Structure 1
Amino acid sequence: MKGPYPEIQGGGSLILAWQVRSKRVLVVGGGEVAAGRIVNILNADAKVTVVSPREGLNEEVAYRIDQKQVDYVDRKFEPSDLDGADMVLTAVDDPEASSQIYKLCHEKRIPANIADVPPECDFYFGSVHRDGPLQIMVSTNGNGPKLASIVRKQIASGLPSNIGMAIQRVGILRKKLRKVAPAPDEGPKRMQWMSKVCEQYTLDELCEMTELDMETLLGFYRPGDVPSLEAVRLRESDGAYDGPFLI
């Protein structure tokens, strides 16, 4: 008999959006796997250092180095490379060396991912779909990376082509709302009102929303109303709008 709450399903991972902006990430290795890791980390605005002999670099990693997108150390890994690191990613064809790096990271309490060795990973990389601010990750918890990629492509194929732009516009509106209603006790009302906007407006309408539309729409926040985009623009054309919160 099922209980009143969700049943626990062990064996999963805690999937998070890990903010690594300006964090120092060490990448050991310079092959194809390292290239993919570097892209993921740079997209998250981290500061990346690559440690690998020059002869071990593939073309993409060499390009990142030449373009000064990452810092580079031309040699094999040394324990001192961990100094100041917030995260470590290894992608080398040397299981013994990889295990040693993981042990050192564990001792220093530095989260690490040892490519292709799930037991020696504090976190996994999933298959990610990216559309502007939208990120969708599919993880098989290290069981089947290729299947994760297949599932991710199926999910992405079913998404509207303008979903990324719509989310971006919602983000701008949300920031504007926080400026005009910054009080902490406004939090529940802000969330409720933004939920109404997302539910009542189509993706096309969200994408079409201009800065003026947003400012006019914010004028309906106090009474908790969310008029149609047509009504918002009618108010603008009538000249009734004179700044947020004046309704």
Structure 2
Amino acid sequence: MFTKENKTHFHRAWIRLIFAYLSAFFLSFAVGSFLIQIMGMSPETLFEFSTKRVSYAFPVFQAGTELGVDLGLVLFFWNSLASIITISFLYTAPLFNPRDTLLFPQTIRKMLCGRRRMKLLCFLPGCLKFEEESLRRVYVWLMVPWLGMILLGMESGLTVSTSSYAFGSYGVGFLSLIPHGVVEIPTIALAGAVVFAVHLVIKKESVEKNSEEIFAFINSFKQEVPLRRIVLFVMSFLFVAGLVEGHITPKILDALVQ
């Protein structure tokens, strides 16, 4: 079970991930509105850009519905898979430990640990202060949920910025996200907090602790995480979010644009 201190880390990580999404959302919404209204960019072009990543999943959604699977369930399975993959980042983080390169799987461990400085990582927040390459890499690995929430927020904000031209009102764009978003975003952030909490600890204590102590903390945190409870909670709320997005949101959208 979580210690009181680790619960605090987890809660703080969850709040920061939600804040990252909201910040990226409103910033990208402002940028999108500026590009359309001031710079004269085509709303269609911006919409296509903001939905490019999601469009790769459309064939999966279509295939599921053609097989008779409810759209809400398809969305549930898709978001659940993404959340489980996110949580797995915590359990793969020990692979970056340079002291365990002789353990199975050796090839993957040696590839992930590496000794050459990856210059691209130095551009990410907080990376410059790490002298040891393995710590820098695991620090970035555990940052992925934060980067993912920013990307998701940017895509959502840009999409909503085109709603005034697609539906005649920004309100329609916002309201189309709210029904499932109020459930889906905090739930996705909860899954990400399992990983991002360790990132925040590394960021705070990397100066005082060496790599051996950092990886020891990762292992102890991993063992304390109430994984079954968190996964059950995440799956339950994503199930609700999927049904809302698949059935209620389209009806609200249809009612608003009529």
TM-score by length of 2: 0.25
Which is strand-richer, 1 or 2?
A: 1
* Greater relative CO (CA pairs within 8 A, separation 6+): 2
Which is helix-richer, 1 or 2?
A: 2
TM-score by length of 1: 0.26
Larger radius of gyration: 1
